[in-house]
Amino acid sequence: MEDLGWDELDVLFVSGDAYVDHPAFGVALLARFLFSHGFRVGILPQPDWRRGDAFRVMGRPRLFGAVSAGAMDSMVNHYTAARKLRHNDAYTPGGQAGARPNRAVIAYTAALKSAYKGLPVVIGGIEASLRRLAHYDYWSDKVRRSVLADAKADMLIYGMAETSLLELARRCAAGSRPAQILDLPASAVMVSQAPAGTVELPSYETVCQDASAFNDAFMRAAAEADPYRGRRVAQHHGERWVLVNPPALPLDQQQLDALYALPFSRLPHPGYTDPIPAFEQIRYSITSHRGCFGGCAFCAIASHQGKTIQSRSEASILAEAARMAESEGFRGTITDVGGPSANMYGAHCGNAEARRNCRRQGCLFPEPCKHLVAEDKAIAAMLKKIGALPNVRHVFVASGVRLDLLEQQPAYSRQLLERHISGLLKVAPETLSGKVAKIMRKPGPAIFLRFLHGFRLFNREQGRRQAIVPYLIAGHPGCTLGDMVDTALFLKENGLRVEQVQEFTPTPGTLATCMYHTGIDPETGRSVHVARGDRERRLQKALLLWHLPEQRTSIMHALQSCGRLDAADRLLGKGVDKRRQISASASARRHGKKSGQNRKSE
């Protein structure tokens, strides 16, 4: 501030992440963006929320404070799907846990308002975005109020925020206060009365008590979360209303290119001495686009980034790759060129009128939309040009790919397999059960099987040793132990071994979380099975790890629980002693219970 001749800031950002001046880190990108438009900005990364002086180091900002929990919801960052405390944080120097509070948006807002009486505070980022209305909170197992109400913030901005935040800063500089601005796209404020023409959702008090009302509120809000045809929604909270405006329009290519042309150092703040794991992972990667039209039930990307794919130009991506190749420490490998799904780059709706009137939550399920234009040759050509740059030896695609879209992209598909896999290709079928795939809003196992056969044939013909890493989810709503037995059999019969299994974590704002809370698919009205206990989730996970000897006892118990002991020979091999495995499991449980009783007595 002294070097720049600033006596005060216009906007003070508070972030739950370490400060890395890289476009993959949202707060750094927004700060660079506002600075490029003439605003004086500062960043407080991971301040100690228990100390007021930690928030005063750069003084009171002139316009407002801007609070984000960071790149992850702080509760997801802190706890596993089993609600056990994590012992690391990839967005903190040294990977150390504990640098941010639980429910960081609420804690940081309280600390900032305490440090500067009367300062307007605006909240944003993934944690605030997905909690903008009454929502089910997995960690407290109850419906919570909008985070705007709990944090007592003046405004919430959801989504990627660039245009809305810039407009807010301009209006505040002209004399407005955030809480008084009712028409800013992608914003939410508390009001005493819902304006005329607003879509009224079932109240917070009602959705707490009534599952059908919760589903109704979710579906109504989702229907209006469209930048082209969405309307304002309002939800009663006590004596006030949470008023949410429709999303901001997607950035066009020129706007997106301008963001990535900003002079990022692409490095952590020089004050850090320990490495930041999240930075090390993306240091030599390139974001080619944002948004996702997959429409998966468990995913919040579209809720935050939007359904519309916003792609950078080839020139912009090549320029970033060239700068990266000339940077200190670069060793010739660009680790990723992609986005939420790498092969969505350049995809778009080929019918402008259809896009304006579209009511689909995704463009691929249950069948690919007839208006979807799947880009193919341009992305393949771009990857070749990146690989031809000086100092670049390898260009890999580490982001996941959508197999149902890849079937429409023969040129990209072949080039991906030939040049851009570092031995392993990540794909995310998430399930190999046709029934569960429909609930997830994912393609069924047939598409995955076709790709697997084609992938293996290509490798045999080319003499290559490459493998597929399928990502699968255990415990997703609608998935029973029987469904997971079928999935495990599919894996074994097709020679696949899963290294990592993601346990479903209900996160605010997703369709799958709505199902988890209510036990009903809100789109169909049908009941869905929900694996609520740790035991069933553990057994589902064990089935996916069928190849690990240490999982055999759990697998046998899973087979017994769902009446599928007939599958034991196919899954574990002939000759397995079913009675012995189950007996060992029962003995272990009895021993554990007895030990627990002894500890309680002591």
β-pairing verdict for 64-68 and 121-124: parallel
For residue range 521-569, list pLDDT tens digits in order. 999 999 999 999 889 999 999 999 999 999 999 999 999 999 999 999 9
Give residue 259's pLDDT.
97
Give residue 575's pLDDT.
59
Collapsing DSSP to helix, strand or coil, 49 comes out as coil
In the predicted model, what is the mean pLDDT of the chain? Answer: 93
Q: Tell me how far apart the alpha carbons of residues 199 and 185 are, in angstroms, rounded to a whole number.
A: 16
| Residues of the chain below pLDDT 70 | 575-602
For residue range 504-514, list pLDDT tens digits in order. 999 999 999 99
Lookup: tokens for 458: 């290509």
Give residue 424's pLDDT.
83
Give residue 599's pLDDT.
36
- Yes or no: say if 350 and 408 are a contact pair by the CB < 8 Å rule: no
Q: Residue 157's beta-bridge partner residues?
A: 187
Give residue 577's pLDDT.
58
Give CA angle at 314 (312, 318), nearest 5°: 105
Residue 296 known to bind ligand: yes
Contact residues for 224 (Cβ-Cβ < 8 A; gap 6+):
199, 230, 231, 232, 233, 246
DSSP secondary structure, 155-214, as one string: EEE-SS-HHHHHHHHHHHHTT--GGG----TTEEEEESSPPTTPEEEPPHHHHHH-HHHH
- Yes or no: say if 308 and 291 are a contact pair by the CB < 8 Å rule: yes
Separation of CA 358 from chain center: 23
Q: How long, in residues, is the chain? A: 602
Residue 299 known to bind ligand: yes
Q: Tell me how far apart the alpha carbons of residues 318 and 471 are, in angstroms, rounded to a whole number.
A: 30
Contact residues for 479 (Cβ-Cβ < 8 A; gap 6+):
431, 433, 436, 439, 473, 529, 531, 540
99 DSSP assignment: S
Lookup: tokens for 548: 């690990």
Least Cα distance to 200 among 236, 226, 157 occurs for 236
Q: Give alpha helix (H) positions in 37-103.
A: 74-78
In what helix (H) or strand (E) does residue 315 lie, and over which residues does it extend? helix 314-325
* pTM of the full structure: 0.93
- Which domains are assigned to the chain? 11-182 (3.40.50.280), 284-422 (3.30.750.210), 425-437+469-602 (3.30.750)
The residue with tokens 């490798």 is 459
Least Cα distance to 359 among 523, 194, 184 occurs for 523
